[in-house]
Amino acid sequence: MTAAAPSPKANMGQPVPRYDAAAKVTGRATYASDMPLDNPAYAFLLTSAIAKGRIDRFDLDDAKRVRGVIEIVTHENAPKLKESKLFSNGGYAGTTIQPLKSADIAHDGQIIAVVVAESYEAAREAANRVKVSYTATAPSASFDSPGTTTAAAKGQNAQFKEDPAVGDFAKAFDAAEVKLTAAYDTPTQHHNPMELFSTSCAWMGDNLVIYEGSQFVYGLKNGVAEQLGIDADKVRVVNPYVGGGFGSRGSMTPRTAIIAGIAKRLGRPIKLVPTRDQGFTITTHRAETRQEIKLGANRDGKLLALRHEGAEVSSRADAYCVGGTKTTTRLYACPNVDSLVSIVRADRNTPGFMRSPPEVPYLFALESAMDALAVKLNMDPVELRRINDTTNEPIGGKPYTSRSLMACFDEAAKAFGWAQRSPQPKSMSDGDWLIGYGCAATCYPTQMGPSAARVRLQRDGRTRVEIAGHEIGTGAYTVIAQTAAERLGVPLEKVAVFMGDSDLPPAPVAGGSNSTASTCSAVMMVCDQIRQRLFKAAMPAQSLTDRAKETVGLGQTPATQAAKGDRPLDIEKAFDALGVGVVEEYGEWKPEGAPLDSFRAMHNGQVRLVGGHAMKDQIAYAFGAEFVEVRVNRFTHEIRCPRLVGAFAAGRIMNPRTARSQLMGGLIWGMSSALLEATEIDERNARYVNDNLADYLVPVNADVAGVEVILLSEQDDRINPVGVKGLGELANVGTNAAICNAIHHATGQRIRKLPVRLENIEV
């Protein structure tokens, strides 16, 4: 075993290499824009240079003269499309601002024209030659701009149902011996997946094929069908590989139906590859937030009162919010809790999910405040968490299905060398560098959704798994193949997995860290259906269900079963008895507590996730603890983070290799979010300024010196059949606070606004 492939502990699968590793490192994996098309035309987008106002006139003469231009589509001649509701209101769209519908402009970088040409180069050149006259009105950019409106999230966002509260916060806070009030700011961020937001559309008669990196092929298929006004069964979305999603490809963006409509009109496949900077405005982003935390505790560190208020910026059109108070009000034992989330409307595009949407901004505030409280109490911050650890969440009193938070703190603290920390700020240094150690808790809700799968087993053991799941780089192919191999007792090499195609059985959106739990539960169930058929054929007399459960359990590899000599069934004999060459089963699985309309919704591309705090008698979260070393240069004030150590417990770990990779990426992203990432907005015109990967800073290799991921063994049989909590979004939650806490330790300075840049340091 290597660092990249940690040895499995109890309740962990094997760290087998990625199913798609060879295809990816050799460049054979095909992404949306790699898909061969028959005689395609190329589209290039033109986006608005103002954030609010209207288009008076296009001057297209120059552009039309470019050789190879086929058509320039503007609001004056765009295909007519039906509206789709926001995903949270029962629709599919990530924004209800539909471009090319009228001359109106609602946000910076809105699509205002599509140039179609015989080549990408001609389309791009012509787009450069289009002249647009606007009448601009002064836009409201963000919190501090005049003209915004603010209102409580509750009542305007269908998915934000309550501001969690319990007890009497005001009274308890008043009476508390130790109090803390602090405000926190988090910036706009953009996902910037490596794969651009490409879309290709090809019609075959009335049938449409869409090649687009998507985290939800069923959602996209149904959404585009709705916009085009055609039967969803005529639309197919294909994307065997997705070059990173991080939430940016979770809901439908306006571009897809537009391209499909133009392709239909021209009777020709169309390929669109937008530029990096267009990606900042034609999809969603993480909204900036402003928050305030109030904590009241007794001298021993017991929390008595907690209030968390957050404001988030959304568009004029849509009341999107992430409302992370649902998590922060439930993380620690505290009898008196209050919270409020509000939405500020500005002239911006509608924000959307970005990796751990609610937890990243809101836990930054809570975990920074916890550290500050520990300092006030003169207490080790780890101990403060221990004192307030709980088995039941305080709002509804529901028990956590399992919770290894303190075990994670203890393991990570040991590996990190927390005991060597001298608690006094500014007390550790190395040459030009002040050293700070900091830590924070991390958590993410366990979620799952209804999923279907088809599995086909051949006499020789060859297995084919079909499921419209998504490989966004997480390892989905790998863990699905492992599940089928283990369940059917066939060698892993014999399992082929087909995903990323809406003609396959539906799976939920690859978001909310639900994929492994949902898809593997469905695949496991369908494999069991096959086993039942084989058992029934081979041993008609026995009680087969029981036998099947007994003899092959999840986590036993075929090899270990063989060694034990209890392989229950000769597959070939069973096939002979059945008299067939292939056994194929289809099944639909839904988690406990899923709504009645689950399966219908699943086929309609509508998300029905259950889990987290919204379960009936319990609450399910994965936990972790993160420790970081930060170095601050005395002279330049440059901030570097050479060491990140995280310990995580997330139920069953299907594959320690892919799990570690997810968590490592999360820690690095968390560091990036704390120290580098922010989309700058020009307040005068509500436009993004640093909309490219040179100016939108993300870490380079030299910034990531040491990352250690510790996987804790945890078993949770109360969440779903595979016992998986999901960990894709677990690691980047705690890092923001851990880093700011470490900066405080290094410099004595408490920074509450992200990202922390060298000009924010005073030493």
Give the binding-site size for another protein (rule: CB under 8 A): 31
Q: Name residue, tokens 């021993």.
A: 300
Minimum distance of another protein from residue 688's CB (angstroms) = 9
177, 300, 695, 717: which one binds another protein (CB under 8 A):
695
- How would DSSP label each residue in 132-151? EEEEE-PPP-STTSTT-EEE
413's tokens: 């603290």
Q: By three-state DSSP, how is residue 317 classified? A: coil
Closest to another protein by CB, 690 vs 713, is 690
Least Å distance between CB 188 and another protein? 13
Residue 223: other Cβ atoms inside 10 A:
28
634: which DSSP letter? Answer: T
The piece of 12-20, 193-201, 566-574, 689-697 that touches another protein (CB under 8 A) is: 689-697
Exactly one of 75, 680, 708, 718 binds another protein (CB under 8 A); which one? 680
Interface with another protein includes 697 (CB under 8 A)? yes
Instruction: Point out the catalytic residue in the list 125, 292, 729, 759.
Output: 729
Among 699, 713, 718, 748, which residue interacts with another protein (rule: CB under 8 A)?
A: 699
Shortest CB 50 distance to another protein, Å: 9
Across 121-141, b (16+ Cβ under 10 Å) vs e yields: ebbbbbbebbebebeeeebbb
d(CA 185, CA 194): 27
Give 587's strand partners.
453
> Does the footprint of another protein cover residue 638 (CB under 8 A)?
yes
Q: Which of 503, 588, 703, 708 binds another protein (CB under 8 A)?
A: 703
Question: Judged by CB under 8 A, does residue 299 bind another protein?
Answer: no
694 binds another protein (CB under 8 A): yes
Q: Which is nearer to another protein, 588 or 638 (CB)?
A: 638
Instruction: Tally Cβ neighbours within 10 Å of residue 600.
Output: 12
| Minimum distance, C-beta of residue 737 to another protein, in the bound complex (Å) | 21
Q: Which of 69/479 has CB closer to another protein? A: 69
Give phi and psi for 584, each to the nearest 5: -130, 135
Query: Which residue stretch of 250-258, 597-605, 631-639, 654-662 sits at the interface with another protein (rule: CB under 8 A)?
Result: 631-639
Q: Which stretch binds another protein (CB under 8 A): 77-85, 121-129, 319-327, 643-651?
A: 121-129
CA distances from 205 to 67, 199, 265 (A): 29, 19, 12
**Residue 729 among the catalytic residues:** yes
Range in contact with another protein (rule: CB under 8 A) among 5-13, 501-509, 600-608, 676-684: 676-684
Residue choice 49, 230, 317, 554 for contact with another protein (CB under 8 A): 49
- Per residue, what are the HEC states of 591-627? CCCCCCCHHHHHHCCCCCCEEHHHCCCCECEEEEEEE
Binding of another protein by 636 (CB under 8 A): yes
Q: Which of 640, 718, 750, 753 touches another protein by CB under 8 A?
A: 640
Classified as helix, coil or strand, 67 is: coil
Instruction: Please give the structure tokens belonging to residue 731.
Output: 């690691």
700 binds another protein (CB under 8 A): yes
Q: What is the DSSP secondary-structure string of 513-569?
A: T-HHHHHHHHHHHHHHHHHHHHHHHH-TTS-HHHHHHHH--TT--HHHHHHHT----
759 part of the interface to another protein, by CB under 8 A: yes
Is 420 or 701 the residue whose CB approaches another protein more closely? 701
Cα–Cα distance measured from residue 200 to residue 211, given in angstroms and rounded to the nearest whole number: 5
118 near another protein, rule: CB under 8 A: no
Question: Rounded CA gap, 680 and 691, in Å?
Answer: 8
**Inter-residue contact 342 to 151 (CB < 8 Å):** yes
Q: Which is nearer to another protein, 534 or 761 (CB)?
A: 761
Does 689 sit near another protein (CB under 8 A)? yes
Strand partners, 305: 296, 336
> What stretches of 88-173 adopt beta strand conformation (E)?
104-105, 111-117, 131-136, 149-152
| Least distance to another protein, CB of residue 676, Å | 6
Tell me how far, at minimum, the Cβ of 553 lies from another protein, in Å.
48
| Contact partners, residue 335, CB within 8 Å, separation at least 6 | 166, 167, 172, 304, 394
Pick the piece of the chain touching another protein (CB under 8 A) from 395-403, 518-526, 673-681, 740-748: 673-681
- Asked if residue 138 binds another protein (CB under 8 A), the reply is no
User: Looking at 243-251, 543-551, 652-660, 690-698, which segment touches another protein (CB under 8 A)?
Assistant: 690-698
Q: Judged by CB under 8 A, does residue 690 bind another protein?
A: yes
Q: Least separation, in Å, of the C-beta of 285 and another protein?
A: 17
- Residue with smaller CB distance to another protein, 109 or 591: 109
Confirm if 587 and 525 have CB atoms less than 8 A apart: yes
Residue 135 touching another protein (CB under 8 A): no
Q: Which residues are catalytic?
A: 729
Q: Which residues bind another protein (CB under 8 A)?
A: 49, 121, 124-125, 128, 277, 432, 633, 635-638, 640, 676, 680-682, 684, 689-690, 694-695, 697, 699-703, 757-759
